[in-house]
Chains A and B, each alone.
Chain A
Amino acid sequence: MALMALTTAGFAQIPFPVKIDTSWSVKTVWMPKSPLTYQTLFVGGTDTVQTTATYGNNAGNTLAKQWHDFIGFTPETDPVKIAAGELGWVTVNHEMTIKNDRIGDGGGMTVFKLKRKTGNELEIVPMTTNDGRNGKFINIDFVNTVGETGMNCGGIVGVDGRIWTAEEWMQNSNSALSNNGNNFRDTADFIIGTTAPAGFPGFNGRTIKRFQNLNWFVEVDPKQGKAIRKQYNWGRAGWEGGVIMSDNKTVYLFDDNTPGLLGKFVATTAGDFTAGQLYVHKAGAPNNWITIENNLDTLIALRTVALRRGATMYTRLEWGAINNNTGKIYVTETGNDNPGTAFRNGAAAAGTIPPHLVEAYKKRYQEINNTTFPFSDAVAADSVRNGAFRDFYGRVLEIDPTTGIVRTFLEGGPFSFSSTSTGVASYPNIHFSNPDGLNFAYIGNKTYMFVQEDLNGRTWNRMPAEYQNGTQTICEGFLLDMSIANPTFNDLIRITACAPGAEITGGIFLDSKTMLANSQHPDGANTFPYNNSLTYAISGWDGIKTALDEYALNKNTNAFSAYPNPVSNELTLNKVTDVAVYDMKGNRVKVLRDVEKVNCSDLTPGMYFLMNTEGQKIKIIVE
């Protein structure tokens, strides 16, 4: 009877023996080494940056700040240097606020210059600035230029590698800014334009509160290691990211807030962003945009003003990028578990609910109630406004620059995949939640979106299945083949699962070979250097094409079989099953229940056996 139950019950479980005989001769599967290689470039708190004279100190050096976030890249243009392998300047944001006598208070940014040695290997070459600093890592001087900066989070890489850093964490008072002098010591009023060249046409001489001098985009000069100006005319908000179109005039701006704004700035003259027109997105308005006048008081209070004029309310816009093939813009909307009060306050000011959230809410309603939403879209919008839609997973949005229409490109989730009535759950192999970093990779003739998670929480199925038991948050990085029409989360290919507690940010492709990424704020208990903020290079992307193709080709059989994907270091099984992994001596080392993929990244190279519930075995060789 027990045997019958075993074969009939869909989710039968037997304990796998602790030890097995390994003398069987079975099919062998090779798990090749990943084509991707990792190289640590810049470690916060460990590497030394060259500093300017600040707070009574002469120019000198000190340890770099931490909390790496955005990565900017400014390509080298000198043909001689390019021929010598020099790639360009890498700028790294420090998303924090802490006082520092040599770097300056608040957050900051570090720049270094990269050179390709041979193959995948990179090196950092020393650089010299006009103010006489020389070294591998240069601190970008904000103190003596634009009046310090805080929580440097996202940013923009413009045409010709121009770099803007964004100050995300919204500040509303000098005392919050100061935090008893731990974060910012200088809370005196700020006068715009007293420190050349940081002034701003039209606003020079205006006095603002110190906290009002935060939460702007700030342009920096990576080659000289200093800030150029705060971009007052783009408005003040919790800016996280943005993109500049190839016309070198149009800028899209993303506000990380609930409600968050989608901004647009159009420069009068290409390349000169000190004059132009600012807009804020409002779905349904003429051309879908509302104009904002270039008035400093209005710009300081941008979010309040825009909501009052009916701006569309997003749930935390993060990073965006342009698909060079289509010119369309993609931006992550990371989501918010508790949008209730935030939306209600925004709506009270007249902010409007975006159509894509209405659609998402209606879909959720159907999943929960097994019936379509019976009322009008206006009623659905009311529900969203009242906080009924908990946006657990977020999504990737697509902006059509010609029409100003914003639509969901890739919805996060899934929310619903199980039935509580039977108690059976098949946990999704791919689960896409709270996207944050987003960029494009052009590999061979394919275009991939690289999108990184920054989980808002661990519950509501946001963690990968094999990490469910843990108490640490694991964020994943995925590739999406852009040739797929109407993609879903099932089309994502997992590339990385970041160190526990860490957010992978800044993913930016230097070329078809190398991506730079940051591990931002890892669990302090990780081992060095993974317990620090660090910038690292992932190289070998030009070699992943075959791996991905093989992976796509080889899955179609009923016999117990496994196919290796060296890029994600996973074996894909022919079906969802319980498996145990045994070492060469036949000792049980892993037991995985209801899996379709076996992650081999924690298996030391060697021979293993994989056994399923029916006792069938496969030999695996991990290289």
Chain B
Amino acid sequence: MKYYIGVILCVCCIAIHMAFTNDKSTEQLPITLAEQQYTLDYNSFINQLQTFEYVLNDTVISSMHQQYVILRNAYKKIEWLLDYIDPIFVKEYVNGAPLPKIDKSAPSLSIINPKGLQVIDELMGEEQLAIDEIKQQVVLLKTVFHQYKRTEKLYDRIIFDAMRVACVRLVSMGITGFDLPAGNTALPECKTTLSSMALYLKFYENNASKAAKNDYKNTVSLLNKSLQFIKPDVDFETFNRAIWIRNYINPLFAQLLVLKNKLGIETIYESTPTHIRFAFNYEATSIFSAQLLSADYYFNIPTDVNKTALINLGMTLFYDPILSINLNRSCAGCHQPEKGFTDGLPKSLASDSGTVSRNSPTLLNAVYAERFFHDLRAEGLDDQLEHVFASNQEFNIDILELMKRLHSSADYVNLFKAAYGKNALINKQQITLAIASYVYSLTGINSSFDKYMRCETSSMSNDAIDGFNLFMGKASCGTCHFAPIFNGTVPPHFVESESEVLGVTSNTDWNNPVLDNDPGRMSGRLKEGAEIYRHSFKTPTVRNITLTAPYMHNGAFATLQHVLTFYNRGGGAGLGLLVPNQTLSSDALNLTELEMNKIIAFMEQLTDSSGLTGRPVSLPLFENKDWNNRPVGGNY
């Protein structure tokens, strides 16, 4: 039992340190106290790793599980700060997804094996514990935490921004069990995070006692209520997430900003060079609003253009078949506004004959992504156009030819002038920027679900509420379709687009499943041509899903019932197919028919294309009169 002595010593040190901290609290600045607390919590996590390593040497399985819970709680105390200060460190070494990934810094294809807490969680979920493998992961973590130097001092701004980001992390990941591939302790861990935040918030009590007394009290009250709502015997499947978020966490998110501003604490925008943009909008007052993310982060319109005129030009081009070589097709063929900017077909029609290889995805809220196309090959909204122009199944047009055409229309010349002023050139860059700007404008985060969560409406059907709770809980939908956009852009920083291997089948004959043979992301980018990306596809948004049938990259599932059934069976691997790198668990979800219908009832509340479906009345005129009777939107 010798190895326990070190641990006990460490615990004593912490106790002494705490006493010391409390004595001085009356005369120390909040941030000094926060610094001390964070150092304490950080070292405590290292100590718990150490203890866990000792316990793994023992033979008592139950004490391993006990210590594992303690270890996770120690991590949850620091996660909200650590992941704010250095999210890449957390992702690469501490709590990244337990999947192999490509080393982006390597000059040739190189796969990094997963490491960290999520790998440990998977291992701890096994019936026969692989002690050596667990220990190896623990030692790795311990080493890296020992080596890792804090890169930034804490500032008041960081404490408050980190708490607000933590609210989003709790909503989009914490309550879904995102980082617990095998465990079921997600909700108690949410409590640990909130308790830790409450501790740090208390350091500001004296500062707030003058100008911000009530705002401080309101913030503490919301924090306490959100804690109390998670009962000690909380059940992962029945916890009412919708009410918890709506009544406590979303208001807390807003209230923390009020308090921070009252305290005179600077904004992140004042602390960072202005050309650095953030996806997360640090001035947002609700998680369920278009404010939360800055569309300008994903697609930045230059300041020297007329934005309204640019979007108008883009809209005109979007519906104009002048873009295709035979003047037949426009963007609006495959992306029809009435169908949520899809075409209702399993695979879009090719311009010559047959179909293109994949299903047309919605453009609504498309801007909130890092990468585009089902295989993630394009990097920006405007990068996509080149592929459509060049494809002989789509517009099949040389951009130089298109430039020549547009130059020959006085109407278009004027539209470009209105948008770009004296810099109007009608070149590839300006054409694609305009169309992409129109797509950028197609955002709608005012569905009846959003309004309910923002307390702008007083109720939503019980089925939809149950559906949301299932979506975010038992059915695990929310672990990939992240709230609040419900797409694969990873919270809480929202700077990376995810793709998943689901093992999608080529039809809905579940008894004789056939794996769809599209290689997906593996054949997207040269530098991503790895086996781990075979059949991997971008996670689309489920917003407006009732408008966008049929579903999946191949359009093989005609109804949402098909989609839910597929997931309920554990995807391709769950159906018995060989899908070596499936990232979806192959376990059945055990959802009942009623539960699946409730999830659909929830998703039906996510529709908002209001004000976005208008088509231009007419198209610009050309000198070539033959072109002037082309229909708005072309033929499809």
Contact with B along A441-464 (1 / 0, CB 8 A): 000000000000000111111000
CA A434 – CA B107 in complex, angstroms?
Answer: 13
CA A258 – CA B527 in complex, angstroms?
Answer: 16
Assuming the A-B contacts A170-B108, A183-B526, A256-B107, are A528 and B302 also in contact, with contact meaning beta carbons closer than 8 angstroms in the complex? Answer: yes
Which of B264-272, B469-477, B545-553 lies at the interface with chain A? B264-272
- Cβ contact within 8 Å between B35 and A460: no
- Cβ contact within 8 Å between A500 and B526: no
The answer, yes or no, to whether A110 is at the interface (CB within 8 Å) is: no
Contact with A along B7-39 (1 / 0, CB 8 A): 000000000000000000011110110011011
- Which residues of chain A are within 8 angstroms of B264 by Cβ–Cβ distance? 15-18
Contact with A along B59-91 (1 / 0, CB 8 A): 000000000000000000000000000111100
- Cβ contact within 8 Å between B149 and A420: yes
- Cβ contact within 8 Å between B108 and A169: yes
Beta-carbon nearest neighbor of B111 in chain A = A341
Partner of B150, one of A5, A338, A420, A465: A420
The answer, yes or no, to whether A539 is at the interface (CB within 8 Å) is: no
- Which residues of chain B are within 8 angstroms of A363 by Cβ–Cβ distance? none
| Cβ < 8 Å to A, chain B residues 126-170 | 146-157
Assuming the A-B contacts A180-B523, A466-B272, are A456 and B149 also in contact, with contact meaning beta carbons closer than 8 angstroms in the complex? Answer: no
The answer, yes or no, to whether B511 is at the interface (CB within 8 Å) is: no
The answer, yes or no, to whether B274 is at the interface (CB within 8 Å) is: yes
Assuming the A-B contacts A423-B38, A427-B152, A459-B86, are A5 and B276 also in contact, with contact meaning beta carbons closer than 8 angstroms in the complex? Answer: no
CA A13 – CA B147 in complex, angstroms?
Answer: 28
Chain A min CB distance to B454 (Å): 26
CA A1 – CA B26 in complex, angstroms?
Answer: 9
| Cβ < 8 Å to B, chain A residues 1-36 | 1-2, 4-6, 9, 11-13, 15-18
- Which residues of chain B are within 8 angstroms of A9 by Cβ–Cβ distance? 28-29, 32
CA A599 – CA B271 in complex, angstroms?
Answer: 11
The answer, yes or no, to whether B112 is at the interface (CB within 8 Å) is: yes
Beta-carbon nearest neighbor of A215 in chain B = B108
CA A417 – CA B149 in complex, angstroms?
Answer: 8
Chain A min CB distance to B455 (Å): 30
Assuming the A-B contacts A169-B108, A416-B149, are A176 and B27 also in contact, with contact meaning beta carbons closer than 8 angstroms in the complex? Answer: no
The answer, yes or no, to whether A46 is at the interface (CB within 8 Å) is: yes
The answer, yes or no, to whether B299 is at the interface (CB within 8 Å) is: yes
Chain A min CB distance to B95 (Å): 14
Chain B min CB distance to A121 (Å): 19
The answer, yes or no, to whether A262 is at the interface (CB within 8 Å) is: no
CA A97 – CA B377 in complex, angstroms?
Answer: 13
Which of A202-210, A216-224, A226-234, A467-475 lies at the interface with chain B? A467-475
The answer, yes or no, to whether B498 is at the interface (CB within 8 Å) is: no
CA A341 – CA B103 in complex, angstroms?
Answer: 12
Name A's interface SS.
loop
The answer, yes or no, to whether A77 is at the interface (CB within 8 Å) is: no
The answer, yes or no, to whether B529 is at the interface (CB within 8 Å) is: yes
The answer, yes or no, to whether A421 is at the interface (CB within 8 Å) is: yes
Partner of A423, one of B36, B277, B299, B382: B36
- Which residues of chain A are within 8 angstroms of B268 by Cβ–Cβ distance? 469
The answer, yes or no, to whether B331 is at the interface (CB within 8 Å) is: no
The answer, yes or no, to whether B213 is at the interface (CB within 8 Å) is: no
Q: Which of A6, A342, A425, A460 has the most CB of B within 10 A?
A: A460
Partner of A500, one of B150, B157, B276, B519: B276
Chain B min CB distance to A390 (Å): 8
Assuming the A-B contacts A425-B149, A602-B274, are A168 and B107 also in contact, with contact meaning beta carbons closer than 8 angstroms in the complex? Answer: yes
- Cβ contact within 8 Å between B29 and A13: yes
- Which residues of chain B are within 8 angstroms of A457 by Cβ–Cβ distance? 88, 92, 104-105
Which of A269-277, A323-331, A400-408, A589-597 lies at the interface with chain B? A589-597
Name B's interface SS.
loop
Which of B426-434, B560-568, B578-586, B599-607 lies at the interface with chain A? B426-434
- Which residues of chain B are within 8 angstroms of A336 by Cβ–Cβ distance? 105-106
| Cβ < 8 Å to A, chain B residues 298-321 | 298-304
Partner of A459, one of B92, B112, B154, B278: B92
Which of A128-136, A242-250, A291-299, A519-527 lies at the interface with chain B? A519-527
CA A592 – CA B266 in complex, angstroms?
Answer: 9
The answer, yes or no, to whether A37 is at the interface (CB within 8 Å) is: no
Beta-carbon nearest neighbor of B89 in chain A = A459
CA A11 – CA B347 in complex, angstroms?
Answer: 61
- Cβ contact within 8 Å between A461 and B272: no
- Which residues of chain A are within 8 angstroms of B276 by Cβ–Cβ distance? 467, 469-470, 472, 474, 500
- Cβ contact within 8 Å between A425 and B152: yes
- Cβ contact within 8 Å between A532 and B429: yes
- Which residues of chain A are within 8 angstroms of B92 by Cβ–Cβ distance? 337, 457, 459
- Cβ contact within 8 Å between B300 and A176: no
Partner of A466, one of B106, B108, B273, B298: B273
The answer, yes or no, to whether B495 is at the interface (CB within 8 Å) is: yes
The answer, yes or no, to whether A45 is at the interface (CB within 8 Å) is: yes
The answer, yes or no, to whether A356 is at the interface (CB within 8 Å) is: no
- Which residues of chain A are within 8 angstroms of B26 by Cβ–Cβ distance? 1
- Which residues of chain B are within 8 angstroms of A420 by Cβ–Cβ distance? 39, 42-43, 149-150
Assuming the A-B contacts A594-B153, A602-B274, are A63 and B400 also in contact, with contact meaning beta carbons closer than 8 angstroms in the complex? Answer: yes
The answer, yes or no, to whether A93 is at the interface (CB within 8 Å) is: no
- Cβ contact within 8 Å between A470 and B272: yes
The answer, yes or no, to whether A531 is at the interface (CB within 8 Å) is: yes
Assuming the A-B contacts A46-B429, A418-B149, A427-B152, are A182 and B523 also in contact, with contact meaning beta carbons closer than 8 angstroms in the complex? Answer: yes
Q: Which of A9, A13, A592 has the most CB of B within 10 A?
A: A13
Chain A min CB distance to B456 (Å): 30
Beta-carbon nearest neighbor of B429 in chain A = A46
CA A456 – CA B88 in complex, angstroms?
Answer: 12
Chain B min CB distance to A532 (Å): 7
The answer, yes or no, to whether A368 is at the interface (CB within 8 Å) is: yes
Chain A min CB distance to B257 (Å): 15
CA A531 – CA B380 in complex, angstroms?
Answer: 10
Beta-carbon nearest neighbor of B525 in chain A = A179
The answer, yes or no, to whether B235 is at the interface (CB within 8 Å) is: no
- Cβ contact within 8 Å between B107 and A169: yes
- Cβ contact within 8 Å between A176 and B529: yes
- Which residues of chain A are within 8 angstroms of B152 by Cβ–Cβ distance? 425, 427, 465, 468
| Besides A336-B106, A420-B150, A421-B39, 16 new A-B residue pairs in contact (Cβ under 8 A), listed by A number | A5-B27, A11-B153, A43-B429, A179-B529, A258-B106, A338-B106, A338-B112, A418-B150, A423-B150, A425-B149, A434-B105, A466-B273, A472-B276, A528-B429, A589-B270, A591-B266
CB pairs A–B below 8 angstroms (8 shown): A46-B429, A338-B105, A423-B153, A425-B151, A456-B105, A466-B271, A470-B272, A590-B271
